[in-house]
């Protein structure tokens, strides 16, 4: 899961903790203290992580930065929608949050961030001349 930047790599480990925490409470009531507390800290984490990751992609001239940034924006919109549903007391918001966390792990970390990691890995290899 390493992308070659210690802060981002640490954040990715935190995400796994969020994943595990949400899976352990997948049947929580939308009105529970767990859901409100979890969403609060998770939304702060996502916002700070995306800012840091986008800054890193710019610094290293990552060619997929624009598409990655677009995915971040979509992710924030989805999370905001889930948050709004919890405020309205919609129980389905909990299962949507579980799905959101699983998809975040399966797609964003395992697919999109791996592309970034591969770019960093290839960029750090010395150029070999024939």
Domains of the chain are: 6-123 (1.20.120.50)
What is the DSSP track for 17-69? HHHHHHHHTTT--TTSHHHHHHHHHHHHHHHHHHHHHHHHHHHTT-TTHHHHH
CA distance 3 to 57: 10
Question: Mean pLDDT of all residues in the chain?
Answer: 88
How much of the chain, in percent, has pLDDT values that exceed 90? 61
- Note the pLDDT of residue 130: 46
- Note the pLDDT of residue 96: 95
Q: Does residue 29 have a pLDDT over 50?
A: yes
CA distance 42 to 130: 50
- What would the mean pLDDT of 57-79 be, rounded to a whole number? 93
- Note the pLDDT of residue 87: 95
Residue 73: pLDDT band (50, 70, 90) is very high
Q: Does residue 81 have a pLDDT over 80?
A: yes
Q: Tokens 């405020």, residue?
A: 87
């Amino acid at each position: 899961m390493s992308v070659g930047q210690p802060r981002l790599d640490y954040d990715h480990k935190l995400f796994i903790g969020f994943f595990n925490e949400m899976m352990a409470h997948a049947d929580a009531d939308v009105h529970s203290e767990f859901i409100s507390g979890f969403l609060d800290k998770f939304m702060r984490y996502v916002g700070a992580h995306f800012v840091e990751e986008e800054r890193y992609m710019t610094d290293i001239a990552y060619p997929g930065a624009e598409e990655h940034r677009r995915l971040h924006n979509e992710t924030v919109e989805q999370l905001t929608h889930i948050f709004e549903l919890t405020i309205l007391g919609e129980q389905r918001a909990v299962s949507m949050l579980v799905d959101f966390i699983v998809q975040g792990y399966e797609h964003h970390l395992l697919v999109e961030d791996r592309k970034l990691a591969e770019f960093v890995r290839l960029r750090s290899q010395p150029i070999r001349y024939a």
